[in-house]
Structure formats: C-alpha cells, structure tokens
Amino acid sequence: MKTNSEKSTAWANIFSHVYIEAGAENLPAAKRILARLPNAARVPFGNRRDIFFRRGQDYLAQKNSPKLILAVQDEFLRDGSGMCDDFGHERFLIASQMMNCLYDCEYCYLQGAHPSANVVAFVNTPDYFAAVREYFGNMGQDAYLCLSYDADLLALEGLTGFIREWLEFCAGEPRLTLEIRTKCGVFPFGTETAPLENVIFAWTLSPENVIRKFERRAPGLEDRISAAKKASSNGWRVRLCIDPVIAARGWEADYAELARAVAAGFPHGTTEGLSVGAFRAREDVFEKMKKMRPYSEILAGDFVKTEGRGGQKEYRYRDEEEIELVVKGACEGYD
C-alpha cells in the first residue's frame, strides 16, 4: 500500500502546475486537492475560460503534460447526448464535474470537443447537489445522471475525492440514479463504504489489442476486470460496456477473445448486463479528430455521414449494425 507521501509524489508527477480560478481557492474540495499536491506550482488566475479556451493550443502536446485547473462551475446539469445509451430512462442527464482525462484514447471525443487537454476540476460540489435538488423540485421526476461523461472520474478519485462526495449525496437522494463510467484498473472503495442501490459503476472494456494500440495510458483489460469484480463482490451494481467497438484490423477475433474474458470474469447475475455500441462521432468532432491525427487507423475506417437524433450530423461505421451484431453474438446471453 502506498504511503500518503508516495501518493502525493505520484500525482505531482502528473500535475506539475495547478491553476486556481478566483473564488475556488477556499472551497473544501480545492483545499483537499491542493493538500495532495504539496509541491505543484500554484498559479492564481481570473476566469478559466481565458485559459481553457485560449486559441492556438496544442492539444496533443498538452496531453503529455497536462496542467490541473481548479475552477468554479456555473452550469450543472444538461440533457444527455443522443449519441449515448440512455438505458430506457426518460430523464437522462449529464453533469461534468471534470473536463478531460488522464488517459489518451485515440478515438476520444474530448479531443474534438475541447480546445485544451488541460484537466479542469470543478470544486464547488455542493452547488451540483443544489442543482439536482432544484431539478427534482421543478420536474418531480426521477433522473438518471451520468457523472463521468467528460472525464474518467474514478481514475482521479484518489486526487479529487469527488465520487465519495457524490456517494454521500446519493445515499439521501433515492430519486437519483448515478452512473459512473470508467476504464479504471482500481476500485478505490473498500467494504467500509456501503454499496448504494442507486449508484452504478460502468466499466468500459476493450480487447487487449485495442487497449495497447489505441488506449494509451489506460489500464489493461485484466486490471479493469479485476476492479469491476471487486466492486461487484463488494455489493455495488456494475455494468459492462463494450462501447466503443473499434473495427480495426483483426477486430472480430479480438472481440471474440474479449467476450470469453467477460464470460470467465462475470458469471451471470453478477452485473447489470452489458451494452455494445460501435464507435461513432459527431461530424465536427470527427473532422477535428481527423485533422489532429491524420494517420489514425481508426479514423481511416469505412464511415458514412448520417443524421442522428435531433438532426445532428454524425459519422458512423457503414457496417455499424453488422459490427454490433457480431460483438453481441460473441457475448450472447450477456446483454
């Protein structure tokens, strides 16, 4: 087990600088994060938009040495994207408490959606809770909230402690179902943290070949499976997601092998099931990604431009349906 000082060193190796937005510095979450980065250079500044949305930033260079920005959020809930599975929930919402991710997946939509790869952490967590309560006050409906949409929150939990705050909130808010999606190779909560019926940890699983080629810095398949199994055996609801399916060279054999690993790791009844979705991207995001990574094997695939929900233009595999059927077939009985 790592000592506190070793943990601080590990985070300091990732974040050498912390930019602190005016108004963020005295919030409890900011103090907690700064205490875990005792040696990082601290740079106070006015408004995160001046830094994050600066023109001419080199996204890929920043990915190799991201800075951490502590900021105060003023937009808390938004409707879920039509490109995501809403799992049949009428009210599907997103809350972004962080923007950007430590991992570097070649297909990540964030690179086409944000001008910067620096990691933003919004430290005013209680304001999110107030927004959820206000939502329930106005709508009077249950809601499904995807918390880890613009980041992998679980991967940064050791630094931020955000998920623990949300778990405490969820314990008193049964109308809310929270989904925390992750590729993390560690489940940081032990048996002392009681599992909650309204929280789902959703692991994105990929074949080992896809991880090695296209998911830089992300944990390997074995670690993800082991983290998901720990969550499940501690009593948490766990969902498995093979999404996005990447139809790169040899994909059918790769996903058949992944299906075998899923079947071996998760006996029926130990998860909430498995969702499958082929890689797709919004038109503007796809085109930006292509410009950024002109030699990407993934983006050179056979895509067609289609019209998504709400008239939005999207790129999808020409054989999307067939690709998903092949993967679902390999995982038969699991979805």
Binding to ligand SF4 in span 140-159, by CB under 6 A? 152
Structure letter (DSSP) for residue 129:
H
Closer to ligand SF4 by Cβ: residue 36 or 183: 183
Please report how the helices 251-265 and 221-233 are oriented relative to each other, as an axis angle in degrees rounded to 10: 30
Instruction: Tell me the per-residue interface mask from 90 to 129 with ligand SF4, x by CB under 6 A, - otherwise.
Output: -----------x-xxx--x-x-------------------
Distance CA 287, CA 294 (A): 10
Three-class DSSP category at 176: strand
Q: Are 109 and 84 in contact (CB under 8 A)?
A: no
What burial letters (b/e) apply to 23-44, b meaning 16+ CB within 10 Å? ebeebebbeebbebbeebeeee
Work out the burial of residue 127: count CB atoms within 10 Å of its CB; fewer than 13 is exposed, 13-18 middle, 19 or more buried.
Answer: middle
Site size for ligand SF4, by CB under 6 A? 9
Q: In the structure encoding, which two tokens stand for residue 99, read together?
A: 């923007």
Binders of ligand SF4 in range 285-304 (CB under 6 A): none
- Smallest gap from Cβ 104 to ligand SF4, in A, equals 6
Closer by beta carbon to ligand SF4, 106 or else 173: 106
Q: Which is nearer to ligand SF4, 135 or 288 (CB)?
A: 288
For the bound state, the minimum distance from the C-beta of residue 158 to ligand SF4, rounded and expressed in Å, comes to: 16
Sole binder of ligand SF4 in the list 36, 48, 114, 183 (CB under 6 A): 183
Q: How far is the CB of 218 from ligand SF4 (least distance, A)?
A: 6
Site for ligand SF4 in 22-81 (CB under 6 A): none
Work out how close the CB of 10 gets to ligand SF4 at its nearest, in angstroms, rounded to a whole number: 18
The contact mask relative to ligand SF4 for 191-220 (x = CB under 6 A, - = no) is: ---------------------------x--
Q: Which is nearer to ligand SF4, 115 or 195 (CB)?
A: 115
Amino acid of residue 50: D
Q: Which of residues 148 and 271 has its CB atom nearest to ligand SF4 in the complex?
A: 148
- The residue behind tokens 């994909």 is 251
**Shortest approach of ligand SF4 to residue 108 CB, angstroms?**
3
- Shortest distance (Å) from residue 142 CB to ligand SF4: 26
Question: Checking DSSP bridges between strand 237-245 and strand 274-278, what pairing results, if any?
Answer: parallel
The first and second tokens of residue 26, run together, are: 């005295």
**Least distance between ligand SF4 and beta carbon 282 (Å):** 14
| Shorter beta-carbon distance to ligand SF4: residue 57 or 198 | 57
Which runs of consecutive H residues, i.e. helices, occur in the chain?
4-14, 28-35, 48-52, 59-64, 110-113, 125-139, 157-160, 162-171, 208-214, 221-233, 251-265, 283-292, 320-330
Residues 6+ apart with CB under 8 A from 99: 52, 110, 114, 119, 120, 150, 151
Which one-letter amino acid corresponds to residue 270? T
Torsion of CA 228, 100, 73, 193, to 10 degrees: 20
- When the beta carbons of 23 and 277 are compared against ligand SF4, the nearer one is 277
> In the β-sheet with 313-317, what is the strand arrangement from edge to edge?
280-282, 313-317, 303-307
Least separation, in Å, of the C-beta of 101 and ligand SF4?
A: 3
Nearest to ligand SF4 of 8, 111 (CB atom): 111
Closest distance of CB 138 from ligand SF4, Å: 30
- 18 versus 184: smaller Cβ distance to ligand SF4: 184
Q: Which positions lie near ligand SF4, rule CB under 6 A?
A: 101, 103-105, 108, 110, 152, 183, 218
